[in-house]
């Protein structure tokens, strides 16, 4: 029987496996997609906002040619760490539920059952987009994930949302020759957009290269257009493609099946856990990384979430001795 099964091979799941292994605990990661699946899904050549030292796990240096690493650098780094440490990882296997109790759990996946004494949930948030809740959202030319600009050259593209991902996508597509319209619910580009991206976007809007509609909400999407409600009334914006970059949220149904309870006093429905050990109210079940913030997905990220691994490994080590 495993000492610990870790759900999710993101940066934090890898950090947990590594720290547990160093404490002599037997561990396996179960990951429903590829290694560091969320980062695989990020835009091509995306630049991290963190410097490489703040993304490191297990003390492995993260050398990069640039001041800020790109998605591809991070993919290379994390797979090298996983291979160097010979971490046990089962890829393309989805965890469905958890039965039993601490010391004698059974994890059920879509491929079978795995016995384990403890479970670390490091499932992040990137799989479930926040829906707009409007008709037409499921049309094939609507996506919640931006990858790269080239399919949109000389096309009309509507980008919904005005945070970092939308800002970067709008700027990149504009520079590649797409005609971008930004739909913003609030009165301005969010102040949470990074200080080196925001002025670029504000200036492109000011010079008319990007059209932005503020205080505007989307009411429907059709195959040819986005229907919006602006302060002066409804309007139809013709478009070839729509990016609804309105954020993501953790899989609350899965957390429920794992017995991870949300904090009733937290608007973000973050899991209830002991901050000194990261153990949830279900003994033997721990949470690590972004999932700890619930719907507040910027509360924990790689920089601060990677440290959960040492706390959990130290606690488990104490229990096992
Ligand atoms: C565009 C973008 C840029 C970012 N830039 C930065 C940055 O510069 N610096 C920074 O610190 N943070 C950054 N972040 C945030 C950071 O990427 C996340 O916080 C980070 O991925 C969290 O790591 P994690 O291991 O907690 O979760 P994730 O990396 O999301 O890993 C969770 C893993 O769990 C897997 N999983 C989910 N459900 C199951 C299941 N049922 N069974 C098996 N596996 C499952 C998923 O496939 C995934 O691989 C950025 C985020 C985005 C979206």
Which CATH number is 4-128+248-320's, of 1.10.2020.10, 2.40.50.140, 3.40.50.620, 3.50.50.60? 3.50.50.60
Mean pLDDT of 7-14: 98
Mean pLDDT of 210-221: 98
Locate the ligand 1 atom nearest the alpha carbon of residue 54 and give its number. Answer: 11
Q: Which CATH class is domain 142-244?
A: alpha beta
Site residues for ligand 1, CB cut-off 6 Å: 7-13, 30-33, 37-38, 42, 46, 48-50, 94-95, 122-124, 126-127, 165, 251, 254, 289-290, 301-303, 305
The reported pTM is 0.96
Mean pLDDT of 253-272: 97
CATH 3.50.50.60-classified regions of the chain = 4-128+248-320, 142-244
Distance 153 CA to ligand 1 centre (A): 29
Mean pLDDT of 182-199: 94
Mean pLDDT of 211-215: 97
Residue 246: per-residue pLDDT: 93
Residue 66: per-residue pLDDT: 86
What percentage of residues in the chain have a pLDDT greater than 90?
A: 97
Locate the ligand 1 atom nearest the alpha carbon of residue 37 and give its number. Answer: 49
Mean pLDDT of 4-19: 98
Going by pLDDT thresholds of 50, 70 and 90, the confidence category of residue 292 is very high
Helix-helix angle 11-22:308-320, to 10 degrees: 30
Mean pLDDT of 184-192: 93
Q: pLDDT tens, 55-102?
A: 999 999 999 988 999 999 999 999 999 999 999 999 999 999 999 999
Q: pLDDT tens, 144-165?
A: 999 999 999 999 999 999 899 9
What percentage of residues in the chain have a pLDDT greater than 70?
A: 100
Residue 115: both structure tokens together: 């016995």
Distance 142 CA to ligand 1 centre (A): 22
Q: pLDDT tens, 126-136?
A: 999 999 999 99
Asked if the model's pLDDT at residue 321 lies above 80, the reply is no
All residues at 6 or more sequence positions from 201 whose CB lies less than 8 Å from its CB, including other chains: 167, 170, 171, 189, 193, 210
Mean pLDDT of 27-36: 98
Going by pLDDT thresholds of 50, 70 and 90, the confidence category of residue 320 is confident
Going by pLDDT thresholds of 50, 70 and 90, the confidence category of residue 47 is very high
Provide the mean pLDDT of the chain: 97
CA angle 101, 271, 91 (to 5 degrees): 65
Going by pLDDT thresholds of 50, 70 and 90, the confidence category of residue 319 is confident
Residue 225: per-residue pLDDT: 98
Distance 136 CA to ligand 1 centre (A): 28
Residue 93, number of CB atoms within 10 A of its CB: 17
């Amino acid at each position: 029987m495993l000492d610990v099964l870790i759900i999710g091979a993101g940066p934090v799941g890898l950090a947990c496996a590594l720290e547990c292994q160093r404490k002599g605990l037997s561990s396996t990661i179960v990951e429903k997609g590829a290694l560091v699946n969320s980062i695989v899904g990020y835009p091509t050549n995306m630049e991290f906002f963190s410097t490489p030292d703040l993304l490191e796990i297990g003390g492995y240096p993260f050398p990069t040619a640039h001041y800020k690493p790109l998605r591809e650098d991070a993919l290379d780094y994390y797979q090298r760490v996983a291979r160097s440490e010979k971490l046990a990882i089962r890829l393309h296997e989805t965890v469905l539920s958890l039965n039993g109790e601490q010391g004698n759990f059974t994890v059920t996946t879509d491929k079978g059952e795995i016995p384990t004494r403890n479970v670390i949930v490091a499932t992040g948030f990137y799989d479930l987009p926040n829906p707009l809740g409007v008709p037409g959202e499921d049309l094939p030319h609507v996506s919640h994930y931006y990858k790269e600009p080239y399919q949109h050259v000389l096309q009309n593209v509507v980008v919904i949302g005005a945070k970092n991902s939308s800002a970067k996508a709008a700027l990149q597509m504009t520079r590649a020759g797409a005609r971008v319209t930004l739909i913003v619910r609030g009165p301005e580009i969010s102040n949470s957009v990074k200080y080196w991206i925001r002025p670029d976007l504000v200036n492109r809007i000011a010079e008319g290269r990007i059209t932005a509609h503020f205080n505007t909400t989307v009411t429907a999407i059709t195959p040819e257009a986005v229907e919006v409600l602006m302060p002066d009334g409804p309007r139809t914006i013709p478009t070839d493609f729509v990016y609804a970059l309105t954020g993501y949220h953790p899989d609350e149904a899965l957390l429920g099946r794992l017995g991870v309870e949300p904090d009733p006093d937290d608007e973000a429905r973050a899991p209830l856990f002991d901050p000194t050990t990261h153990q949830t109210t279900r003994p033997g079940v721990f949470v690590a990384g972004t999932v700890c913030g619930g719907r507040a997905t910027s509360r924990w990220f790689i920089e601060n979430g990677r440290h959960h691994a040492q706390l959990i490994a130290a606690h488990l080590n104490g229990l096992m001795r």
